[in-house]
Amino acid sequence: MSEAAPAGIGPRPVTLLWNPIFRMLNSIGYEGHTSIEWEDAGMDRLIGAPRALALVREPARPAPSAAAFPVRNASTPDVSEHASTKEGS
């Protein structure tokens, strides 16, 4: 018999499965409905429902882009240096 647990609660790392899915939906601009299925009669819905909603909303925030903060190294030109030399000439 398998052990059941609500999403994000229990022994299974369910958030590892759901986060990429909801991040992808967010990245493609999905604005439709999302249904949260409730099958746990043993958990009070006033406790479990907010937890489930938080689990769904968390990955709705965009994932940070690697391009947003590029790593600057010695071979990367500094644009501000070029701008100041043009102004001074």
What confidence tens digit (pLDDT) does each residue in 31-75 have?
A: 888 887 777 788 888 988 888 888 777 766 665 666 666 666 656
15 occurs within a structural domain: yes
Contact 38, 49 (CB under 8 A): yes
Comparing C-alpha atoms, which of 25, 10, 83 is closest to residue 59? 25
Note whether residue 13 is domain-resident.
yes
The answer to the question of residue 2 being in a domain is yes
The total number of structural domains in the chain stands at 1
Full residue range of the structural domain in which residue 54 is found: 1-32+43-61
* Tokens 């299974």 -> residue: 12
Contacts (Cβ under 8 Å, ≥6 apart) of 59: 18, 19, 20, 21, 22, 23, 26
The whole-model pTM stands at: 0.43
